[in-house]
Amino acid sequence: MKKLALFLILISTTIYAQINRIEPANWWVGMKLNQITLLVYGNNIQDLEPTIKYDGVHVVKIEKVENPNYLFVTINIAPDTKIGKAKIDFKKNGKTIITKDFPLLARENNSANRESFSNKDAILLIMPDRFANGNPKNDNLPGSLEKANRNDENGRHGGDIQGIINNLDYIQSLGYTQIWNTPLVENNMQKYSYHGYAATDFYKIDPRYGTNEDFKRLVQEAKKRNIGLIWDVVLNHCGLEYYFIKDMPMKDWVNFPDTRTRTNHLKSTLLDPYATKQDKKGYTDGWFDTTMPDLNQRNPLMASYLTQNTIWWIEYAGLSGFREDTFSYADKDFLAYWTKTILEEYPNFNIVGEEMTHVTEIAAYWQKNKKNIDGYQCYLPSLMDFALTDNLVKALNNKNDWESTWKEVYKSMGQDYQFPNPNNLLIFPDNHDMDRIYSRLNKNLDHWKLAMTLYATMRGIPQIYYGTELLFTHEKMGNDGQRRGDFYGGWEGDTKNAITRKGLTNEELEAQKFFTHLFNWRKTATAIHDGKFTHYVPEKNEAYVYFRYTDKQKIMVILNKNDKKITLDMKTYQDIIPSNFSAKEALSGKEINVNGMLEVAPKSALILEIK
């Protein structure tokens, strides 16, 4: 009878115990992070005992949580472990019920020391759903909750990975050396899922974009053109349709699971010496949206899951950097741990955090090597410079009163002393969360050219939004759907095409040519990449003058907003250059000789390579 009872138990377990997921599904030999925690998910699996018999790999601990559908298995992988497939046996009363393979892979050569994005790069920001539809067959797939509808500005339009691959030559021709895509992971939500920030599977490319292998192919094709891929990371939240939200391992897997309390968005509370713990928690723990659960990174199992996932994508796909979304909304101690862990694994890796603020002190708080008054230290290499963007638009739109309108830009740059490394900031005229720069500049082409020249020559790393080179605009300010308009020629039958130039206006053609010349020139301008920056107080002549220089190269940039030509006295700049010099004008290619005075045409930008 005892044998029969045991047999019936085993049969019952075999029928009801299923393993649907092991995440991560593989790892690499030779990683510094060689002790990882596997999330094992399946029906009624908590009574199973996982074991591994593979030289160099052993189970460190097994954690059982509130939900019987989860096991967390921590394993250690020795540095000298052989490449192969470790078998994980899941046993019940000594009998193996389920066996799963866990591949142990070889790392690519020099993976740890991979190059990342830096000052030498220009980054193209793409929202994949709105860029180009290279494979219409994946627009609507079985199991996808939201279908494609180009007539809905807030719906899916059908752009995909193949569309990006098809346009790589065009991207290269514009002078870009990096691509940052908004998130490509599965976002299988009922509606408004095209943006990618409500993940339902952190390990899987959304099928409407393609497959994991398709993304890997994009990285490889981009590398052939000397273009790297930057991955958009979301550590703070996910989508409600995620399996581990619909069936949570434990109650503290997310914050405010019952009330779904929204964040107060008051990022200043983290630095505020008078803020209450409740208000600080209201910022970091509140949900970004009622459809986006706030992940609890204080839970060590969640912290491991997120950290391993981001490292997994670097190794799997061959990434060249991270952009991290809603950076400071996540737990600050976790952010220090996460950035430190990534940089320990990849010392040259660059990570830019989105801290959407115009207050320099708040942004600078997070940068690596910042000495904060509270003793906190993060290891984030780069941040997004939102202050420069707004100050530039003000400078170009405002009219002259009693002082130069350029002074807001000048004073903004003067705050760089608060950053340990201002040269590593990401600078940008706009992005997917902002109104298009051409709209903000009231469709003034001359002012647009001044803005593009500044972003190509200013300290930091320029990031430009797709379509900026074509003067993309929109009628409704603050409308996300219009900010994220479809790329010209990305869909069959489009009346405009960026590559063939069909249907483009004269202004759009002029802008595209100007942009292409400017950013291809930037590729070879080493003083722009690595040079020092010195600027001069803008006078009422409405010119902003600054220099980028190294021991080998000096570049003078003059941005003249004035309606009339101006004359600059070179004595003003004699601490950098002599009053008499010869130079090549980068945009026109003309050779010029300057003798004490320099005339600058109205509404124009000059980039002088001084000989």
pLDDT tens digits for range 428-483: 999 999 999 999 999 999 999 999 999 999 999 999 999 999 999 999 999 999 99
Mean pLDDT calculated for residue range 11-25 = 76
- Residue 300 neighbours by CB under 8 Å, 6+ apart: none
* 294-295 vs 597-600, strand pairing mode: unpaired
The pLDDT score that the predictor gives to residue 5 is 46
* pLDDT band with cut points at 50, 70 and 90 for residue 16: low
Q: What is the set of domains in the chain, with CATH numbers?
A: 18-107 (2.60.40.10), 117-527 (3.20.20.80), 530-610 (2.60.40.1180)
User: Which pLDDT does position 169 carry in this prediction?
Assistant: 98
**Mean pLDDT, rounded, for 388-405:** 88
pLDDT at 541: 75
| pLDDT value, residue 7 | 45
* E strand segments, 209-320: 228-233, 254-255, 294-295
Contact 149, 194 (CB under 8 A): no
341-362 burial string, b = 16+ CB within 10 Å, else e? Answer: bbbebbeebbbbbbbbbeebeb
Name, in order, each residue with C-beta under 8 angstroms of 165's C-beta and a sequence gap of 6 or more. 134, 217, 218, 221
- Name residue, tokens 């230290």: 377
Residue 106 parent element (H or E): none
Q: In the predicted model, is pLDDT for residue 547 greater than 50? A: yes
Residue 14 has pLDDT above 60, yes or no: no
* Section 212-220 average pLDDT: 98
Share of the chain above pLDDT 90, in %: 95
Q: Write out the two tokens for 145.
A: 């909750």
Residue 18 has pLDDT above 80, yes or no: yes
Query: What's residue 400's pLDDT?
Result: 72
Residue 2 reports pLDDT greater than 90: no
State residue 457's pLDDT score. Answer: 98
Q: Say whether pLDDT at 324 is over 70.
A: yes
Q: What is the pLDDT of residues 501-534, one digit of tens each?
A: 999 999 999 999 999 999 999 999 999 999 999 9
Confidence at residue 539, expressed as pLDDT on a 0 to 100 scale: 82
Helix (H) or strand (E) holding 98: strand 95-105
Q: Which long-range contacts (CB under 8 A, 24 or more apart) does 516-521 make?
A: 516/173, 516/174, 516/175, 516/469, 517/587, 518/175, 518/452, 518/453, 518/456, 518/587, 519/122, 519/174, 519/175, 519/176, 519/456, 519/462, 519/464, 520/174, 520/175, 521/175, 521/456, 521/586, 521/587, 521/607
Residue 6: predicted pLDDT:
44
Which pTM value belongs to this model?
A: 0.96
> Among residues 74, 33, 1, which one has the least CA distance to residue 345?
33
pLDDT digits (tens, 9 = 90+) for 42-51: 999 999 999 9
pLDDT at 8 over 50: no
Which residue of the set 139, 214, 354, 385 is catalytic? Answer: 354
Q: How many C-beta atoms lie closer than 10 Å to residue 110's C-beta?
A: 8
Per residue in 95-114, pLDDT (tens digit) is: 999 999 999 999 999 999 99
Out of 285, 324, 325, 355, the active site residue is: 325
Q: What is the mean pLDDT of the chain?
A: 95
Average pLDDT over residues 374-379: 97
| Segment 332-359 mean pLDDT | 98
For residue 311, what are the CA distances in angstroms to 33, 103, 306, 320, 521?
9, 16, 9, 12, 34
- State mean pLDDT over 152-158: 96
Cis peptide before 24 (omega within 30 of 0): yes
pLDDT at 10: 45
**pLDDT, mean of residues 219-233:** 98
Using the structure block, give the residue that is written with the tokens 């008054």.
373
Phi-psi region of 379 (alpha: psi -120 to 50; beta: other; left: phi over 0): alpha
Q: What are phi and psi of 251, to 5 degrees?
A: -70, -35
Predicted confidence band of residue 401 (pLDDT cuts 50, 70, 90): low
Q: Is 354 a catalytic residue?
A: yes
Q: How confident is the model at residue 267 (pLDDT cuts 50, 70, 90)?
A: very high
**Predicted local distance difference test score (pLDDT) of residue 253:** 98
Is the pLDDT at 402 greater than 90? The verdict is: no
Q: Which residues contact 522 (CB under 8 A, 6 or more apart)?
A: 122, 175, 456, 457, 462, 528
End-to-end CA distance of the chain: 97
What integer pLDDT is reported at residue 399 of this predicted model?
84
